[in-house]
Amino acid sequence: MTKSNSASATQSSNSSQPAPSQPHVISKQSEEFQWDETIVWLERINKNMQRMSTDEKYRLEIAKDLS
């Protein structure tokens, strides 16, 4: 029991150490690029949401006409 517990404890501590450091390095290197890409995606999502809302209005109008 103690052997397996200590083995799992060392595995979890080893695997958890590199994980926080890697994203931190990546974000420091390409922070501006990520923000540019985020803004582009947000603009695309905004356009798609506007299209969806207008499509919904047309659907409601068509439904009223048909009923």
| Interval 11-60: pLDDT, tens | 444 444 455 555 555 555 555 567 888 899 999 999 988 888 888 888 88
> Of 62 and 21, which is predicted with more confidence?
62
Structural domain boundaries, residue 43: 2-66
Which 8-state DSSP code applies to residue 17?
T
Alpha carbon separation from 9 to 12, 14, 21, 61 (Å, rounded) = 5, 9, 20, 62
Cα distance between residue 60 and residue 66, in whole Å: 10
Give the ranges where 1-67 is alpha helix by DSSP (H).
2-16, 18-29, 31-66
Query: What single-letter amino acid sits at 3?
Result: K
| Residues in CB range of 34: below 8 A, 6 or more apart | 27
Q: What domain count does the chain have?
A: 1
